[in-house]
Amino acid sequence: ADAAGVDCILIGDSLGMVCQGLSSTVGVSLETMRYHVESVTRGVRRVQGTAWIVGDLPYGTYQESKEQALRSAAVLMQAGAHMVKLEGGGWTTETVRFLVERGIPVCAHLGLTPQTVHALGGYRVQGKTVESAAIMKRHAHELQEAGASLLVLEMVPAALSAELTTELAHCPTIGIGAGSGTAGQVLVLHDMLGLNLGKMPRFVRNFMADLPGVQGQHGIKEAMQAYVQAVKNGSFPDNVLHAW
């Protein structure tokens, strides 16, 4: 990924679903995340890479208290992460502030938050109503004020994501299923390479299959390079095909 020009590598708790066969991200442990952060860090360092490494704080490792969040974040930072990510707005604001004040960069996450997907009623687009959009905007501004360095917007209407990106002067947005108006994009590696079976989410594009020539002739690096190029030239995501 680093050699392909990816600016930031997120080691997400989605690895529980795409690597471990879990039905959701809820079962992923902090030790599992530590192992994968360490492994990715070694790989990036081996090629003298410069990609920013972000590690997900898994479910149950930061909800209890700010102090619990600090202990969990320290584990991932010691494993090689440059930043940690946590999900949700509202109550997480003070946790973000607490971590940032102690020198730990934080990526926030609004919209569809997979760790609490059951409370959201399933994998659905978030922020579609005037009321829910207003709440998301308020949470986004609170997280920026608390010191969040990045904000992931997942399955959020493209128009709302674009508005937030314009409004948040000090917190770049990273979209997944949130349209082309965000400052950056993220995709699960297995989705990007077409490694998952079954129906893919609307926002996914298989960059391995899109490469010219005989399927399989090109490698993972080329598919990642195609992804990077598509994001930078604005051809992905398409607001008609990949967003709401």
In this prediction, what percent of the chain has a pLDDT beyond 70? 98
Is 97 a member of any domain?
yes
Task: Evaluate if residue 47 carries a pLDDT over 70.
Answer: yes
Rounded alpha-carbon distances, angstroms, from residue 70 to 22, 67, 104, 137, 154 = 26, 5, 9, 26, 25
In this predicted structure, the answer to whether residue 42 has a pLDDT above a threshold of 80 is yes
Q: What is the pLDDT of residue 2?
A: 83
pLDDT of 198: 80
Domain count, the chain: 1
pLDDT of residue 218: 63
Identify the domain containing residue 173 by its residue range. 8-188
69: domain CATH number? 3.20.20.60
- Mean pLDDT, rounded, of the chain: 95
Residue 160 has pLDDT above 80, yes or no: yes
- Indicate which residue of 154, 163, 167, 222 is catalytic: 154
In degrees and rounded to multiples of 5, residue 207 shows phi and psi of: -80, -20
Residue 205 in any domain: the answer is: no
User: At 49, is the pLDDT very low, low, confident or very high (cuts 50, 70, 90)?
Assistant: confident
What pLDDT shows up at residue 48? 82
User: 98-112, 116-130, 152-166: lowest mean pLDDT where?
Assistant: 116-130
pLDDT value for 79:
99
Give pairs for 171-177: CB < 8 Å, separation 24+.
171/108, 171/140, 171/143, 171/144, 174/8, 174/107, 174/150, 175/237, 176/152, 176/203, 177/112, 177/125, 177/201, 177/202, 177/203, 177/237, 177/242, 177/243, 177/244
Separate counts of helices (H) and strands (E) for the chain: 9, 7
Q: What is the mean predicted confidence (pLDDT) over 35-39? A: 98
Residue 118: pLDDT above 90? no
User: Which pLDDT belongs to residue 224?
Assistant: 94
In a domain, 123, yes or no: yes
Does any domain span residue 105? yes
Average pLDDT over residues 232-242: 96
* 60 in a structural domain: yes
pLDDT in the model for residue 199? 86
Mean pLDDT of the region 2-15: 94
pLDDT band of residue 4 (cuts 50, 70, 90) is confident
203 belongs to a structural domain? no
Q: Is residue 146 part of a domain?
A: yes
pLDDT at residue 113 is higher than 60: yes
Average pLDDT over residues 22-35: 97
> What confidence tens digit (pLDDT) does each residue in 176-230 have?
999 999 999 999 999 999 998 888 899 999 999 888 765 555 688 999 999 999 9
Mean pLDDT of 31-58: 95
Whether residue 154 lies in the annotated active site: yes
- Residue 122: predicted pLDDT: 84
Residue 43 lies in a domain: yes
